[in-house]
Structure 1
């Protein structure tokens, strides 16, 4: 099975290709640049360098979020378009589950996270059992202080994995002390190769056209628009009375 993976859920952009569960290639960039300009060229380059034709792909894998609103949208739009054009299945996985794979074999709690601004985090909770990552909580958006309070009540060390580590590391260490564990910088970066491997044995999305990202929260602009619309409707209703 040939699987092309796409991850743009953070400022890290990655695409990877596996054939029969063996990695063929991977392109990852860690710079905060426009994914919409770089993703398609990266996919073309990867296919060209691995001598793979688009019509040889068996499925597309993509991270569904949570994460960067724009980044998630770009990745999913690209993945859905390719899957539809090629007539192949689309597999979607949590960006938190993908990042948690870097904690494989860690004996303790695994907490992947992305910064969500205003001291909030997109995060999840996982453990490793016999070399396999297992979910313990659903992906959520939490205030950093609330998350640290919850983790402090857990037994055992906590491994934090994130490309946004430097933003929150000091506060995490202040609250959790020796309970907090941080790996090497590379451990905090999602790997598209892992995404491709995971997608081999996952069920595709049931309806390609109705599939939407898991933003967890509305984009700020949309939230403001809905609030303004609700206010206008309330005002109109009051005038009608």
Structure 2
């Protein structure tokens, strides 16, 4: 048995699951227009444990979505995960957010392109094979008509960043999945268990989210 608590807060979706090995046994999530992760996360953690009739003491590890994504969302999720690991003396697992998102699509050929909104015409983007192997390094990409032009294979575009790309990326090989907007802890079980089995643990004291971009503080023009 390997009971892993999975935390995904990199986007507007506040998502928590509990997995036994690679099988999800409990899930609680909600996506709202505003970020309510600080209010919901620990309530959701308690809820999934209650669903499974378990306690924090039963956990073998905590997995967290490491980014890229929302600066605030990532800080909340990683802080909670690190706090639990430190208090319980259990390992921390870090999963790539765009890879978690890619797991929502099953394809036989071509590639999966995960895109998360990074404001204006920029997205956080990762390209994955049908086996979910990374084809390109995760990057922040400003979308224009040349984006992904080197691919002739079918490209399955997912994530909330894809919504603003449809008017620019119109090739016949672009296949959009508008129903898939955010990564979910429901897809974290398999990825987390693979890392758990191979002891790919993070240093709880020094681990930081993968922001990819520097945090930019904006102020009201009225000030």
TM-score (norm 1): 0.83
How far 1:169 moved relative to its partner?
2.6
User: Unpaired segments of 5 or more residues in structure 2?
Assistant: none
* Equivalent runs, 1:98-177 vs 2, <5 Å: 98-128=100-130, 132-145=131-144, 148-173=145-170, 176=171
Matched with 2:68 is 66
* Equivalent runs, 1:1-241 vs 2, <5 Å: 1-32=2-33, 33-128=35-130, 132-145=131-144, 148-173=145-170, 176=171, 178-183=172-177, 185=179, 187-202=180-195, 203-221=199-217
Aligned partner of residue 133 in structure 2, secondary structure: strand
Q: 1: distance between equivalents of 2:58 and 2:30?
A: 25
Q: Is the 8 A contact 2:62 2:93 kept in 1?
A: yes
Bigger-Rg structure (1/2): 1
Alpha-carbon RMSD across the aligned residues, in angstroms, is: 1.8
Q: Is the 8 A contact 2:147 2:169 kept in 1?
A: no
Q: Is the 8 A contact 1:205 1:211 kept in 2?
A: no
Q: 2: distance between equivalents of 1:22 and 1:118?
A: 37
Matched length: 214
Q: Is the 8 A contact 1:104 1:133 kept in 2?
A: no
* 1:106 to 1:13, Cα distance in 2 relative to 1, 3 A: farther
Q: 1: distance between equivalents of 2:164 and 2:149?
A: 20
More off after superposition, 108-117 vs 23-32 = 23-32
